[in-house]
């Protein structure tokens, strides 16, 4: 890939993981979010820092919209259990 792809992937991943950690997205939906963002924001050659920052912002906004549109079932998350704890 190259170009802006790294910034796009990183930004989308940060949004998806944040949504997972807050209970707003299932762990298994993270790759779905990343795939959709990368498909909608194809890599562009980098000519400036502003371009990279713009790609980052666009990816974050798109990832948030995708997370918000995720089906309710995909947002369900089982309660966390302490390490080694009984179920």
Number of domains in the chain: 1
User: Would the pLDDT of 24 be above 60?
Assistant: yes
> pLDDT digit string (tens) for 32-87?
999 999 999 999 999 999 999 999 999 999 999 999 998 765 555 555 555 665 55
87 found inside a domain: no
Domain presence at residue 80: no
Name the one residue in this structure whose structure tokens are 């796009």: 8
Domain that holds residue 60: 5-73
Contact 53, 11 (CB under 8 A): no
Let me know: does 8 contact 41? Beta carbons within 8 Å. Answer: yes
Q: Which residues contact 41 (CB under 8 A, 6 or more apart)?
A: 4, 8, 55, 58, 59, 62
**Phi and psi (nearest 5°) for 76?**
-65, 140
């Amino acid at each position: 890939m190259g170009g802006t792809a790294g910034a796009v992937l990183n930004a989308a991943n940060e949004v998806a993981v944040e949504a997972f950690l807050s209970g707003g997205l299932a762990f298994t939906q993270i790759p779905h979010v990343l795939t959709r963002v990368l498909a909608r924001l194809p890599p562009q050659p980098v000519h400036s820092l502003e371009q990279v920052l713009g790609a980052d912002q666009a990816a974050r906004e798109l990832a948030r919209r995708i997370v918000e549109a995720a089906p309710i079932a995909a947002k369900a998350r089982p309660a966390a259990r302490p390490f080694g704890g009984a179920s």
